[in-house]
Amino acid sequence: MVRVFPFFVFMWIFTFGFSQESVVADVKIQGFKRTRPSFLKKIVGLQPGMVLDSILMEEDMTRLKRLPSISHAYYQVFSADDGRHSVFYTIEENFTLIPFANLFSSANDDFAFRAGLQEFNAFGRNITLGGFYQLDVFNSYGISIRAPYLFGNKWGLALNYNNFTTQEPVFFADDTADYRYNNEGFELLGLYELNFKNRIDLGGSLFTEDYEYLAGATDPDVPQALKVDKHLIKLIYNFDAVSYEYQYLSGFRSSLNFQYVGTSNQVLPPFLIGFNDFAYFRRIGKRGNWATRLRLGLASNIDTPFAPFTVDNNLNIRGVGNTIDRGTGAIVFNTEYRHTLIDKHWFVLQGNAFIDGGSWRNPGGDFSDFGDDQNIRIYPGVGLRFMHKRIFNAIFRIDYGYGITKDADRGLVFGIGQYF
């Protein structure tokens, strides 16, 4: 017993001394200009009094770099004479008041664009305020606010108002018609961060859809004018394990979007819709980045010309055209290799080669429709990215897609931000 006692005393002294040496005395954040330090300290995980944790500090760096206001972040640890540690988080801020524009056209489509202005760091708290104007045959506009950390470091709100008006093709068995389509409504979402990698958005919207026949084929079972009040319940679940190093991304993320849409008119009956985007990014050498996205989606299989999934330049397949088909199911695969051609202090020129492909289930059809060559579209292409490293999402992209499947089109797609 006498021999064993010193051993336990030694272990107690060692454990006590080690825990004292590992305590964080202070966490200081530097490099901020417009972002409020009180906001940054609220959302980071490492706090004074905690045990020094390198894994938690790496998570904090990724968390900070995900914020729109921050382009890069790193940490330093300084040890005092008493063995306690001071941790410095250094950030490099983005410019966050950003105009944006999406331009799109194809060989057979009219020119269309969307332009707007967004502030991604309103009040120094990474609140996003924005508005847009769109011309796609008709005029559209919308405003939005998103505050993911409005109530502490986990709870937030998002509010949107949109008034979309477009010319939409409606597809019958053997022909098509053009309708003027208007969607006006409000959306409110509650935002909750479960943990470092997982987020949930839950809420709903009230909106009105208005269809007005313009030209083309007609069908006695399809009204030429229709106005319907609708309500929507939405759940979005995001898993994000992507690491950021300026324009380079590494890791995996997944986004599930599930919605129930109710209606006041059985001509457009209620339906369920869900889709999941899986994305994977991998660094290739010093200047390369491989990026891949897979979308799987299904909706209630209602035989209607107003099916919810669309085939469109700006959503899924570059070069295919503006809303050229609809379906009640979708499988879309996008993969591209991005290579940095020029990388200066603030400017990056990136080239990319891509393949976009997908297939759709016809309204009222079955799963064999995914294998029908009428529904399969494959579009390889190339593009350029012009990037500013100190302005959030300042990526101007140009892509040219060329279809290689049956009755394929081709065209240019312009936009702000990476395609996915």
Q: What is the pLDDT of residues 148-199, one digit of tens each?
A: 999 988 999 999 999 999 888 777 767 788 899 999 999 999 999 999 899 9
Interval 277-298 mean pLDDT: 97
Residues 54/40, Cβ–Cβ less than 8 Å: no
Helix (H) or strand (E) holding 279: strand 271-284
No. of helices (H) and no. of strands (E), the chain: 3, 21
| Dist. CA 158–CA 193, nearest whole Å | 14
- Which 3 state secondary structure label does DSSP give 82? coil
Lowest mean pLDDT among 193-197, 391-395, 399-403: 391-395
Cβ contacts of residue 84 below 8 Å, gap of 6+? 20, 21, 23, 24, 25
Q: Per-residue confidence at 15, pLDDT binned at 50, 70, 90?
A: very low
**CATH code given to domain 4-93:** 3.10.20.310
Interval 264-268 mean pLDDT: 79
Q: What is the pLDDT of residues 113-132, one digit of tens each?
A: 888 999 999 999 999 999 99
Q: Determine the pLDDT at residue 110.
A: 61
DSSP per-residue codes, 173-214 = SS-EEEEEEEEEEEEEEEEEE-SSSEEEEEEEEEEEEEEEEE
Q: Determine the pLDDT at residue 174.
A: 72
Percent of the chain with pLDDT over 90: 68
pLDDT at 262 over 90: yes
Which among 136, 272, 269 is positioned nearest to 209, based on CA atoms?
269
Q: Please count the CA atoms within 13 angstroms of the CA of 16 that sit on its side-chain side.
A: 6
Residues 114/99, Cβ–Cβ less than 8 Å: no
Q: Which residues pair with 95 in a beta bridge?
A: 391
Interval 317-343 mean pLDDT: 92
Side chain identity at residue 27, one-letter code: V
Interval 5-25 mean pLDDT: 54
Token output for 180 = 């003027």
* Average pLDDT value for the chain: 89
Pairing of strands 24-30, 85-93: parallel
How far CA 316 is from CA of 207, 237, 348, 371, in Å, comes to: 25, 20, 25, 18
Q: What is the pLDDT of residues 343-386, one digit of tens each?
A: 998 899 999 999 999 999 999 999 999 999 989 999 999 999 99
Residue 34 CB burial class (10 angstroms; 0-12, 13-18, ≥19) = middle
- Which 3 state secondary structure label does DSSP give 131? strand
Q: What is the pLDDT of residues 196-252, one digit of tens each?
A: 899 999 999 999 999 999 988 888 878 889 899 999 999 999 999 999 888 999 999
Q: Per-residue confidence at 315, pLDDT binned at 50, 70, 90?
A: confident
Overall fold of domain 97-416: Porin (2.40.160)
Token output for 291 = 């990026």
Q: Determine the pLDDT at residue 356.
A: 97
Residue entry with tokens 């008006």 = 165
What are the residue ranges of CATH 2.40.160.50 in the chain?
A: 97-416
Side chain identity at residue 241, one-letter code: A
Residues 186/161, Cβ–Cβ less than 8 Å: yes
What are the residue ranges of CATH 3.10.20.310 in the chain?
A: 4-93
